[in-house]
Amino acid sequence: MTRLVSGSFSQGNTINNSRKHKRLPKPFPVMLCPLTFSPSSFNHDAYCIDISKGGLSLETRRAYTIGDKLQVKIHMPRLNKYSPGFFKYYENDADQYFTAISEVAWCKSQAGSYCVGIKFINVDEDQSIALGGLINNALSQFSASL
C-alpha cells in the first residue's frame, strides 16, 4: 500500500518541510555497498521508507556515519517503463534496478534498527529520468484515487 507523505518520515509521523523533490513512500528492497578501498559485497538488509529523485530514507540493522559513501542498488519493478532510452522496451521486472553512488546524510537509532537518510550524489541521467517518471506516475495515481 502506498501512502502520500509530505515531508520526511520518522517513526510513523510525517513532518511538513520544503523538499526539492516529491517523495514516494514505498518499501523497495535496497542493497548497500560501502565504497571502500577493499572490495565489499552488498548488504541485503535494508528497506526503503520513501524515495525521491534526490535520495531516500531507509531502515536497516546497521548504523552508518554521516558522510559515508555507499553504492545503492534498489529493486524497482516497472522502472524501465519510464526510461527515455532503450531500457523502456526491456520489461523484465526481475532485473530492474536503480543504482546510484550516494552519501549518508543522517542516521537515527529507532527500536533496534536505524533510519538512514541517503543523498544521491552520482546517478545516470536516464535512471534519474526513469525514477522521476515512476514517482510522478505513482503519486498522480494516488491523488486520483482520493
pLDDT tens profile 121-141:
999 999 999 999 999 999 998
Report the pLDDT value the prediction gives residue 143, as an integer from 0 to 100: 85
Burial label for 111, CB within 10 Å (0-12, 13-18, 19+), is: exposed
- Distances from the Cα of 49 to the Cα of 19, 36, 41, 46, 127, angstroms: 16, 25, 22, 9, 20
Report the pLDDT value the prediction gives residue 81, as an integer from 0 to 100: 87
pLDDT greater at residue 115 or residue 12:
115
Q: Which residues pair with 75 in a beta bridge?
A: 97
Residue 46 in this model has a pLDDT that exceeds 60: yes
The pLDDT of 40-48, averaged and rounded, is 76
Report the pLDDT value the prediction gives residue 83, as an integer from 0 to 100: 87
Q: Quick one: pLDDT band at residue 77, thresholds 50, 70, 90? A: confident
Residue position matching grid coordinates 517503463: 81
The answer to whether domain 8-145 has CATH 1.20.1250.20 is no
Report the pLDDT value the prediction gives residue 18, as an integer from 0 to 100: 64
Q: What is the pLDDT of residues 9-32, one digit of tens each?
A: 344 444 455 678 888 888 888 988
